Chain A
Amino acid sequence: MEEKDDEGESVCRPVQPEGLFMRVKKNSIPRCFSTRLLTRFSLSPSFLSQDIRNTVGNIPMEWYQDYPHIGYNLDGKKIFKPIRNKDELDEFLDKMENPDYWRTVHDKTTASDIRLSDEQVDLVHRLQKGQFGDVNFNEYEPSVDFFTNEVMIHPVTNRPQDKRSFIPSLIEKEKVSKLVHAIKMGWIKPRKPKETTPQYYDLWAKEDPNAILGRHKMHVPAPKMRLPGHEESYNPPPEYLLTEEERMAWEQQDAEDRKLPFLPQKHSCLRAVPAFSRFIHERFERCLDLYLCPRQRKMRVNVNPEDLIPKLPKPKDLQPFPTTMSLVYIGHSSLVRSISASPTGQWLVSGSDDCTVRFWEVNTGRCMKTLEVGGAVKSVAWNPNPAVCLVAVESTVLLLNPGLGDRLVVSSTDQLITSYEPPEEDKEQAVTWALSEGPEHDNGHRLTLTHPKAVKQVVWHGKGDYLASVMPDNSSNLQVLIHQVSKRRTQNPFRKNKGLVQCVSFHPLRPYFFVATQRYVRVYNLIKQELTKKLMTNCKWISSMAIHPGGDNLICGSYDCRLAWFDLDLSTKPYKMLRHHKKALRGVAYHKHYPLFASGADDGSVIICHGMVYNDLLQNPLIVPVKVLKGHQITHDLGVLDVTFHPTQPWVFSSGADATIRLFT
């Protein structure tokens, strides 16, 4: 068959005209033969007479665009272009008028129109149909076999077979050996058999309790997703919908800060509910939580808050203590820095920034006496000796005889001052003692101790003969002075500066002396002249200090709102730290007889606590706050400046920055 095809083709080939170059559109009807159709019929006899064949060959004719001629004929003469090119109108007229228009073809090489003859048109038609160009060609001639189809006994050729057809192929051998080697080495594996076990089966058919590993006990199962509340409903109750402001706030919040991760929405019917746009996100975040979050068991504290409140004895059972404000002592015109009650409890002395010291009768609130001293009064202290009446007032420390009350007491006081006999040899002292005379003496001034520096605090010893004054100074050892009134002697007990001294105090019974610096309280033995104890207050800055009349306990108020109770027998650390006040503490005080102590602070309140100290050493002191007393107004951010108890009654005095003194009973 193949050969026959070959033959057919070879027969066909010469029929096609040499160099025939025709492009005819398949669907175009013959009437509209384009003039662009290029033909070059050499065989047509009708053209022989006027043979103007171009000799330029098969070249793009636009090369001759700029020349008047278009090529050369067989004789070597120029073939000139027609003078006038046909334009569209000519074309149209031609199309309308020329009956042979459909068989006219424009020859680009000669720039002439050629009318096709009948044979040529016929040829074109045949070619269009896919027939052979030659009319006489028979395409179905009977085929003649080159070889016979019968099997012959003799070979066609006599050539012997190759040697390689007898011996095994080397290439194949190489390939096979490679495969064998690969199989041997395990590089090629046999095809895996298909899995026959079902995909799912009863995995937990044999639940073996021993199979539970130790890890399962440690395993923290992932917490379940939070269940939705009403606000997530597609149709929530209207109170769960956000208002306009809430919605704005929600939109402005960061995604992490939002309480709800979505905006509650209301849809009138289920049909109107759209897809939730963050659905895949939320699922993905859950996945991340599951494998990225460390898991921890958090013990939730499940206590009743009422159980946390300590059970204290009722304040009612701890009476008496001051509960109500009963008297206000008005008269000062500036902050009342310090107050002190007389040992009998009949009088009260107060010192103020308006440079006066006032004496009050406690029961009536009447100002008995006003003394002008030349400067702001920082501290006043009434002599604890009931037989003598001396008040130490500072700036320069003044000893006053108020001249109030019992005549005997007044005279005995004066006698104490006058009975002084100067010693034989005069010693150089840190302060100068000067006796007051004239009008000053009549006012009550008795002695003036001129200190080298400003005095901040004065304090009497329990017996009433010794007096300590504090002159805070960071850079010298002259900060504390102890004076003896009967001998008019002064001594400086400390040789070294241990820090800025805030306040000092005498032990009520034993010869101990307490010195509070900024953060520590040092206890000195005055007889042995040595340091006995150093109390760590854990405060930033001590403001005031008071010693229990028993002498074994001490309270310290500090500017960082704390009150530290020390049990001196127990430890050098505070037994209890009370943070009752909101602002800096200014004054603390113990009652002489009742188990009470008070603290006054800048928040304008005085807090009375019950502080029972037992004789039994094994029992710790009982501290119960019993009353918060309010009354002082806060002026210039200062509230209560000093507190002191009445010596016999459960009453407390407090002086404040609002220039008043108040008595709470």
Chain B
Amino acid sequence: MGGLQKKKYERGSATNYITRNKARKKLQLSLADFRRLCILKGIYPHEPKHKKKVNKGSTAPRTFYLFKDIRFLLHEPIVRKFREYKVFVRKLRKAYGKAEWTGVERLRDNKPGYKLDHIIKERYPTFIDALRDIDDALSMCFLFSTFARTGKCHVQTITLCRRLTVEWMNYVVTSRSLRKVFLSIKGIYYQAEVLGQLITWLVPYQFAHDHPTDVDYRVMATFTEMYTTLFGFINFRLYQTLNLVYPPKLDSKAESELKAEHEEDYAMDSESYLEKLSALSASLARVVATAEEEENQLDLFPTEGENMQAREKEQKEQEAQKRLFEGLKFFLNREVPRESLAFILRCFGAEVSWDKSLCIGGTYEVTDETITHQIVDRPDMDKQYINRYYIQPQWVFDSVNAQMRLPVEDYFLGTTLPPHLSPFVEEKDGDYVPPEKLKLMALQRGEKPGKSRAELDSEEEDEEEEDEEEEEEDDEEEDDVDDEELTEEKNLKKMEGTRVTPGKVKPWETGSVGNKVRLEQEEKAEEKRLAIMMMKKKEKYLYDKIMFGKKRTTREVSSLRCAPAKPTRHITCHHSKVQT
């Protein structure tokens, strides 16, 4: 019975966690360095199950890390590099203070640096892991590449980000893996499918940033440091999979074409090369000069049956989507976002050009007679060619999302655009589907869009009316006779406007059949109510929560359905002409 007395907080969860400050002290790092290390190594805090136990009886709010994680950080070689750098800065300051310029120079030559390769390898042991986590890296690099080269971060970082994003865009163009695009008020969303992974990123609109003061750019810079390393390795690997030269080089043919123009006065050779790459108008050089990609047929496994067929169909659709704009020749006016449109159009096989003064890399002039579409974002154009469509940029985005070339009539110069829908929303049954989406789905099924939007609306309203009326009658089912009568009544009402209608026929007065049905329903409802009474407390709580959520969604849907803005929706005539 004797033995040592068990002390509190010396075993169990209290020893599994460590507070942030203690972890910092254990690693002998400043808070900034600790934060940097956590970001680079991907260590995040943990929420213990019993906070009071871990916090040794106190309930003060603290951040806890797993002790294992901190022990893992102890062995990190980068920690030593951090300390070295700290020493370096101290020495440098001293040398400056003593005006020992040779010393300064010598120190500068031996400035300690570190590489993140091993961390990347450690965090992402396989390539697919890395690819899965690239969303944030892409968005961050695209943001940093739009920064002005002053102040907020190193110029090298900005140029590196720009380089990597251009490489990425070139890869997506070459592999034709773009799937969805969306013009939001924040920026432009892109979604690509790379090696089976869906990758989404957001690119801000091309404006100068108003740098906020309440943002810690050091944190962002640390993330960017990690992301650029990761991104570079991923780009390398991706280029390798397509047999492309890395760092990317333009095709020799394309290069000579581009060279012909007067670009000497444009920029230095080294600078203009990145510009030429970012123009996205030329194809890239390959390691082995092969012909175009050979189509590898999908092997058929007869056992799978329907599943296989569905997959095959999907494959076909994807192939078709990749060639969406093939054979079309676009010209971008100067007021449209050049880079994003060139990127999208090139991803789907179109030829793109723009004004020579806008950017390097335009391959043909406005005057080219073979141009099929000109993308314009201004109310009117002075000089119009008769053999090309003048369309607004939304057409490109909507067509990509619809996986088909939409009729161009809605997108002509100066017309009011149809709403731009998000391609990322997947409606489940019960969710609200905007009428435009219904129309689009009809189009995709191959039906001719005979109905105008107003008709669609009115039809829906009819349904609502019916719904309401049904609700009025206590949600009960009616037999056929009643139904007919009701519909007749409704028709009458519609025809004669505000005339007084004969009194409504109550179903329980008319027939015993309806009465029975009604009784049965009531009984069922009562049964359910009684059964709900007998639920256990825990299950009741859960049930109530689920029902609350359901009710909320239906409420939202209904509020969307009868939004006040709806009746004012404009009416346009639709021709059933589909562009080929």
Contacts and interface: CB of A to CB of B under 8 A. Distances in A.
B544 to A, nearest CB: 9
Interface stretch (B257-265, B307-315, B504-512, B524-532): B524-532
A600 B60 CA distance: 49
Interface stretch (B294-302, B412-420, B494-502): B412-420
Contacts of B335: 271
B46 A294 contact: yes
Contact of A279 (B42, B44, B186): B186
Interface in A201-255: 201-204, 207-208, 211-213, 215-216, 219, 221-222, 224-225, 227-230, 232-241, 243
A213 B216 CA distance: 32
A229 B204 contact: no
Contact of A309 (B392, B421, B531, B537): B531
Interface string B80-115: 000000000000000000000000001001100000
Contacts, number: 259
A216 B393 CA distance: 44
Nearest to B564: A243
- Tell me what chain A mostly uses at the interface: helix, strand, loop, or mixed: loop
A305 B210 CA distance: 49
Nearest to A286: B136
B176 to A, nearest CB: 22
A89 B460 CA distance: 98
B18 to A, nearest CB: 14
B205 A305 contact: no
B185 A230 contact: no
A283 B561 CA distance: 33
A235 B419 contact: yes
B122 A213 contact: yes
B515 interface: no
A279 B110 contact: no
B140 A283 contact: yes
Interface in A536-581: 578-580
B61 interface: no
Given A233-B184, A235-B394, A235-B417, A287 B212 contact: no
A410 interface: no
Interface in B474-530: 523, 526-530
B528 A270 contact: no
A624 interface: yes
Nearest to A259: B556
Interface stretch (A185-193, A388-396, A521-529, A643-651): A185-193
A284 interface: yes
A626 B533 CA distance: 10
B305 interface: no
B489 to A, nearest CB: 30
Contacts of A279: 143, 186-187, 204, 209
Contacts of A29: none
A236 B534 CA distance: 46
Contacts of A211: 121-122, 125
Given A228-B189, A291-B38, A625-B534, A305 B237 contact: no
Given A236-B419, A291-B38, A281 B215 contact: yes
Interface in A249-278: 262, 264-265, 267-271, 273-277
Contacts of B355: none
Contacts of A157: none
A315 B183 CA distance: 58
Contacts of B539: 308
A213 B132 CA distance: 18
A276 B527 contact: no
Contacts of B564: 243
Contacts of B212: 280-281
A311 B528 CA distance: 10
A203 B233 CA distance: 6
Contacts of A315: 526-527, 530
Given A192-B109, A293-B44, A239 B563 contact: yes
A240 B435 CA distance: 12
A211 B547 CA distance: 47
Contacts of A201: 233, 236
Contacts of B184: 228, 232-234
A229 B420 CA distance: 11
Interface string A480-520: 00000000000000000000000000000000000000000
A264 B393 CA distance: 20
From A273, A295, A296, A311, name the one whose CB has the most chain B CB atoms within 10 angstroms: A273
Contacts of A243: 563-565
A292 interface: yes
A290 B39 CA distance: 8
A215 B75 CA distance: 15
B401 to A, nearest CB: 11
Interface residues of A, number: 86
Nearest to B235: A200
Contact of A207 (B125, B139, B186, B215): B125
B45 interface: yes
Given A235-B420, A262-B186, A292 B530 contact: no
Contact of A290 (B136, B546, B560): B136
Contact of B531 (A212, A222, A235, A310): A310
A208 B124 CA distance: 11
A178 B565 CA distance: 85
B193 interface: no
A625 B531 CA distance: 7
A309 B419 contact: no
Give the residue among A200, A225, A283 with the most B Cβ atoms within 10 A: A200
Contacts of B139: 225, 283, 286
Contacts of B370: none
A204 B126 contact: yes
Nearest to B393: A270
Nearest to B565: A238
A295 B45 CA distance: 7
A232 B185 CA distance: 6
A212 B106 contact: no
A229 B417 contact: no
Nearest to B40: A291
Contacts of B182: 228, 232-233
B220 interface: yes
Interface string B195-235: 00000101011011111101110011001000000001101
Given A235-B419, A269-B377, A290-B44, A308 B543 contact: yes
B356 interface: no
Contact of A224 (B127, B200, B561): B200
A153 interface: no
B53 to A, nearest CB: 16
A628 B527 CA distance: 11
Contacts of B419: 230, 233, 235-238
Nearest to B189: A228
Given A233-B184, A236-B420, A241-B565, A309 B425 contact: no
Contacts of A267: 185
Interface string A629-648: 00000000000000000000
Contacts of A284: 215-216, 219-220
Contacts of B126: 204, 207, 212
A213 B120 CA distance: 13
Contacts of A225: 135-136, 139, 200, 202
B125 A234 contact: no
24 contacts: A191-B106, A207-B126, A215-B68, A225-B202, A227-B424, A228-B186, A228-B424, A237-B421, A241-B565, A271-B378, A274-B205, A275-B210, A276-B187, A284-B215, A287-B219, A288-B219, A290-B39, A290-B44, A291-B219, A308-B535, A312-B534, A579-B537, A627-B530, A628-B529
The 8 closest A-B pairs by CB, nearest first: A239-B563, A275-B207, A238-B565, A227-B424, A294-B47, A200-B232, A237-B419, A204-B127
Given A213-B125, A275-B205, A316-B523, 10 more contacts: A232-B422, A264-B185, A273-B185, A279-B187, A279-B209, A281-B214, A308-B543, A578-B533, A626-B530, A628-B529
